[in-house]
Amino acid sequence: MKFKIANKRMVSLTILITFMISIIGIGSYVNAGTDLMNVSRDVSVSNVKSGDTFDVKYTITPKSIVASSQDNNKQKEIVFVMDTSGSMNWVVGENRDPYYGEKSRLDIMKSVANNFIGKFNDGKNKARISLIEYNSYASNITDNFININSNNINKLTGQNGYINNLKAGGSTNIGDGLRKAYYELSNNAQGQEKYIVLMTDGEAEAYSHDDNGSYYMSNGYSYQYDSTSWKTDWLGNIDFNRNPDPDNREKSMEYAKKVASELIANSTDKPNINTFVIGFGSGSDGDKNKQIADAAKGTYFQAQDENTINSVYDKIQKIIDTNVSGKVHLEENISSNLEVVEVKNKGLPQEYKIDNNKLVIDVNNYYTLTNGNYYSDPIEFTVKYKVKDNNICKLGEGGNSSFVQLDALGQVDKKYLEEKIIVGSSNVADSLVDINRTVSVSSVKAGDTFEVKYTITPKPIVASSQDNNKQKEIVFVMDTSGSMDWVVGENRDPYYGEKSRLDIMKSVANGFINKFNDGKNKASISLIEYNYYASTITNGFVDINSNNINSLTGQKGYIKKLDAGGSTNIGDGLRRAYYTLSSNADNEKDKYIVLMTDGNAEAYSGDNNKNYYMDDGIYYGDNYYSDNDYKYYYTGWKTDRSGNIDFNQTPYPDYREDSMKYAKKVASEKIANSNINTFVIGFGSGANGDKNKQIAESAKGTYFQAQDENTINAIYDKIQKIIDTNVSGKVHLEESISSNLEVVDVKNNNLPQEYKIDNNKLVMDVNNYYTLTNGSYCSDPIEFTVKYKVKDNNNICKLGEGGNTSFVQLDVLGKTDKKYLEEKIIDNLVVNSTIQEHGIYHRSDNTIDASNLNVIDKVPTELAMIVDVKSSNLVIDWNIDKTNISDSQIIFKKYKIINGSIDMNHPEQLNLDISTKNSGTISNTTGFNMESGSKYIIIYTITPEKKSGNNINIGASIEGTSNSKPLNLTIKGLPDLF
């Protein structure tokens, strides 16, 4: 086997051969055939009713296409648009200047730009580049376009080139950067491939306008700009917690999208510009910058660090260099009782149209060239449909009305989507639940992990005419910490006319309670507030009826009188709620805790030794009435010069971790094992959803997150309906798994992170709640994802072996429904790495000779093996008969083989001491990094020394003797030259 080392001579020869082939006239592309893609459509439901929404996920996977030998000589014009706003002087991920040895964002950007441009310096002279920078406004760095070749490259990327001389300062006028890029490309001759590659580390904060204040859309320099002015703290650092003045972010975003859509995407005389927008670092708002890319009908990438942004630009360079794209056209025929609500996707514009009950989407897809094939990433998007009536819903009626078509390289592939029927509620069978299991893979090997998504969909149940008269006891637990005086979304007091969080909470509480005042006298409530510690507002439970409602929700009622102040002791709020409910021994009543917080646990209750306080009792100054010491310990936040809390400084003392543990301890040890139904609501951006969800899960309860007043009203409305309906079910799942699988993790949105493994069965129990809607009890779907790991390669992996060992059972309203999961077989794909060649290495022509194994006495000899790696835990067992060698140490050098060439630039070395042994292992754990799916050449040297016999035996094997390439070398003496 012969390999080549890439060098100037070889590159020149390749270009010459390519040129000769093009003259001879071999076809432009190998025939791509008609099978260009795979298409799948995944529907999230099997039955629906009027008013329901459901998601349908479409995945279009373009297949690889063999590339031709003819080079594409079409010229490329690239405008590289660089953010040089002031924040580019900061490090990635933090709003500060670099410390010694750290890189600024601009340093990284310069390196990325230099590498990007340098890759086009391939001797083909096909690419021309123009450099634009933008901050408060955009400026040309280069004077028009520069050909990327060996004569000009230093002007661009050299030590004193345009890029290395860039400085940072000013605001972020993304729109002006796009405007100048557009005119740079449109002013030039047509016929070239044209690209804009724009990077930003923030969001649009400045815009350009004329003297009349209208957005500036023309080509020229006679315009003004307005930027956003951020306030600073007393050290002169920008304070992003304070509102800027003036705040031009909204206009700046509008301007950027206007330039993108009207000039780049939809101009009647547009020069067909391909646009890439890259957001760099956590300060770049991915959603907003993606909207700009979408407006330009371009592609958006998000990069958080240096490695990621390098790979993003490397991918874009390959897309431009390959210069192959396709057009994907989708038409989905939908029945008249469906409407499209939204199209959500990762990498395509948020644009679609409805034409005669057809959803129509057009998307460009790009290919890159790898190992002689064109590859394109999958295209994924999710469509949310809404049901208008209770008739049967259909997608792709008849099976030939919905399709996806891909046009690429002069070939067309059209795939039809089969008809999908979704049953309306009037046609739902008399069953209680549906179960769907989606497996992410079809084959696996030892060490792999894969995910399985389970969707349990309780069906609507027709409500009976008999009213449920069971009494309900509700403890309403309200956060009255100091931050409740602030507005939602910001850490400041309200301005005139604004509402505080507490104002909203009072309104929500009043609305919640008033809905139970229905004349049925079925609900009683106890009100608790908590800050440093918890206090009972009402004296026990108050029946919700017309006689008592004013004492709760009236103008002079308990809720109206609440004030905010102090820390956030969530654990004590739960503790008081638990004892309030458990002190009433009437277990015939349905019991509920409804707790709201606008933050995280920052205080806890304990004794003098700081042990968590878990008993009953009410706080009276320093002691409980029970004479047990009761103290609270709270987190001490520091303040700035204006007296405002400075959340950028570490508090002292910092009791957040203890406070979180205390809240979870109360929830798990007290509430979870009782018959109390718990709801926890996080309100606003200050409430950490993950942490508060953990508290809810510890109580075996349900967590909701609300960012604004409308959402929190909707959440409390839903909880009120759950309590009022008073119908809940118990869902029990058992999934039988084969012995070579283990459960790694269970991820979900709305159920406790609890499961158990019992005799190779995954077992999970979940409560589900129903609400009464249009005469039926309805419950939300239960979704969770299980991550499995493959333990060995010996057996086929199975879920639900035999088809009757895995099931979901729902018990509700005295009825039971059991649905079995069919057997799912996942092929255990055993893929072995191999030593393809092993022999004497001839460096002169990079060949390995395994037939003539003669070596010369006392003359060092290079040996080599070619390894094809197919697993992530490769181990090569190597041994040698030391009798006839003089070496005490063998040095192995490993090189990667890329596209048939040996990459000599990145060797790795492994020294094997054989002074006291004659064998060893070569693996990732011993110092070599060998990636699965790659090939490597490992070169080593031995020195023959004929001592006893004429042979040297060397063994090399992977995964046993069946994958071995031993050598038997014959020692020859030096030739007699006289």
The DSSP 8-state label assigned to residue 944 in this structure reads B
Average pLDDT across the chain, whole number: 83
Average pLDDT of span 574-585: 85
Give the three-state DSSP class for 893. strand
Residue with tokens 């069953």: 431
Please report the pLDDT score of residue 828 as a whole number: 64
The pLDDT of residue 598 is above 50? yes
The pLDDT of residue 352 is above 90? no
* 633 close to 604: Cβ distance less than 8 angstroms: yes
| Beta strands in 105-236, from DSSP E residues, in sequence order | 127-134, 138-140, 146-147, 193-200, 206-209, 224-227
Please report the pLDDT score of residue 32 as a whole number: 35
For the purposes of burial, counting CB atoms within 10 Å of the CB of 743, is it exposed (0-12), middle (13-18) or buried (19 or more)?
middle
User: 1 or 235: whose pLDDT is higher?
Assistant: 235
Please report the pLDDT score of residue 189 as a whole number: 62
For the purposes of burial, counting CB atoms within 10 Å of the CB of 303, is it exposed (0-12), middle (13-18) or buried (19 or more)?
buried
**CA separation for the pair 632, 569 (Å, rounded):** 8
* 855 close to 970: Cβ distance less than 8 angstroms: yes
* 58 close to 330: Cβ distance less than 8 angstroms: yes
Please report the pLDDT score of residue 531 as a whole number: 94
A 10 A CB-CB count for 123 gives 12
For the purposes of burial, counting CB atoms within 10 Å of the CB of 642, is it exposed (0-12), middle (13-18) or buried (19 or more)?
exposed
End-to-end CA distance of the chain: 36
Enumerate residues 6+ apart whose C-beta is below 8 A from 169: 84, 85, 86, 89, 135
Return contacts of 628-632, CB within 8 angstroms, 24+ apart.
Answer: 630/533, 630/605, 631/605, 631/606, 631/607, 632/532, 632/533, 632/567, 632/569, 632/572, 632/603, 632/604, 632/605, 632/606
User: 664 or 904: whose pLDDT is higher?
Assistant: 664
Strands 776-779 and 461-462 turn out to be antiparallel
pLDDT band at 17 (very low <50, low <70, confident <90, very high): very low
Q: Which two tokens stand for residue 746?
A: 């269970």
pLDDT tens for 963-974 read 788 999 999 887
* 103 close to 88: Cβ distance less than 8 angstroms: no
Enumerate residues 6+ apart whose C-beta is below 8 A from 528: 475, 476, 477, 478, 534, 535, 536, 537, 573, 576, 577, 580
A 10 A CB-CB count for 713 gives 16
Hey, what amino acid is at 271? P
pLDDT tens for 708-738 read 888 899 889 888 888 888 888 889 999 999 8
The pLDDT of residue 94 is above 60? yes
Superfamily of 77-322 according to CATH: von Willebrand factor, type A domain (3.40.50.410)
**CA separation for the pair 366, 111 (Å, rounded):** 25
Please report the pLDDT score of residue 729 as a whole number: 85
* Range of lowest pLDDT (366-380, 530-544, 562-576): 366-380
Cis ω before 494 (30° cut-off from 0):
no
**CA separation for the pair 432, 458 (Å, rounded):** 6
Q: Does domain 472-725 have CATH number 3.40.50.410?
A: yes
Please report the pLDDT score of residue 358 as a whole number: 87
pLDDT tens for 267-288 read 555 568 889 999 888 777 667 8
Please report the pLDDT score of residue 16 as a whole number: 35
Please report the pLDDT score of residue 394 as a whole number: 86
Asked if domains 31-67+325-428 and 834-972 share a fold, the reply is: yes
pLDDT tens for 817-870 read 888 888 888 876 666 788 989 999 998 888 999 888 999 999 999 999 999 887
Q: Which two tokens stand for residue 774?
A: 């249009």
Superfamily of 834-972 according to CATH: Immunoglobulins (2.60.40.10)
The pLDDT of residue 645 is above 90? no
pLDDT tens for 782-828 read 888 999 988 876 567 888 877 778 899 998 887 888 888 888 888 76
pLDDT band at 7 (very low <50, low <70, confident <90, very high): very low
Give the three-state DSSP class for 816. strand
Query: Quick one: three-class SS letters along 289-354?
Result: HHHHHHHCCCEEEEECCHHHHHHHHHHHHHHHHHCEEEEEEEEEEECCCEEEEEEEECCCCCCCEE
Rounded to the nearest 10 degrees, how much is the dihedral formed by the CA atoms of 848, 850, 854, 855? 40
Strand partners for 797: 826
Give the three-state DSSP class for 440. coil
Superfamily of 31-67+325-428 according to CATH: ntegrin, alpha v. Chain A, domain 3 (2.60.40.1510)
**CA separation for the pair 351, 492 (Å, rounded):** 38
* 152 close to 146: Cβ distance less than 8 angstroms: yes
Q: Which two tokens stand for residue 693?
A: 């969800």
- Greatest alpha-carbon pair distance for the chain in Å reads 126
Cis ω before 653 (30° cut-off from 0):
yes
Rounded to the nearest 10 degrees, how much is the dihedral formed by the CA atoms of 752, 753, 758, 760? 130
* Count of all residues that appear for the chain in the document: 978
Please report the pLDDT score of residue 421 as a whole number: 78
Angle (nearest 5°) at CA 220 between 263 and 155: 95
Please report the pLDDT score of residue 641 as a whole number: 78
pLDDT tens for 448-504 read 889 999 999 999 888 764 445 678 899 999 999 999 999 988 888 899 989 999 999
* 860 close to 836: Cβ distance less than 8 angstroms: no
**CA separation for the pair 639, 617 (Å, rounded):** 33
* Range of lowest pLDDT (3-17, 401-415, 887-901): 3-17
Q: Is the dihedral of CA 187, 193, 199, 203 positive or negative?
A: positive
Average pLDDT of span 240-250: 84
Please report the pLDDT score of residue 562 as a whole number: 92
The pLDDT of residue 195 is above 50? yes
The pLDDT of residue 634 is above 90? yes
On the CB side of 134, CA atoms within 13 Å amount to 31
The secondary element (H helix, E strand) that includes residue 956 is strand 951-958
Say what the pTM is: 0.43
Q: Does domain 458-464+728-828 have CATH number 2.40.50?
A: no
Please report the pLDDT score of residue 793 as a whole number: 65
**CA separation for the pair 325, 449 (Å, rounded):** 33
The secondary element (H helix, E strand) that includes residue 156 is helix 153-157
Any idea where the domains of the chain sit in the sequence? 31-67+325-428, 77-322, 458-464+728-828, 472-725, 834-972
pLDDT band at 687 (very low <50, low <70, confident <90, very high): confident
Please report the pLDDT score of residue 10 as a whole number: 41
The pLDDT of residue 658 is above 90? yes
Average pLDDT of span 124-132: 88
Q: Which two tokens stand for residue 270?
A: 């547009």
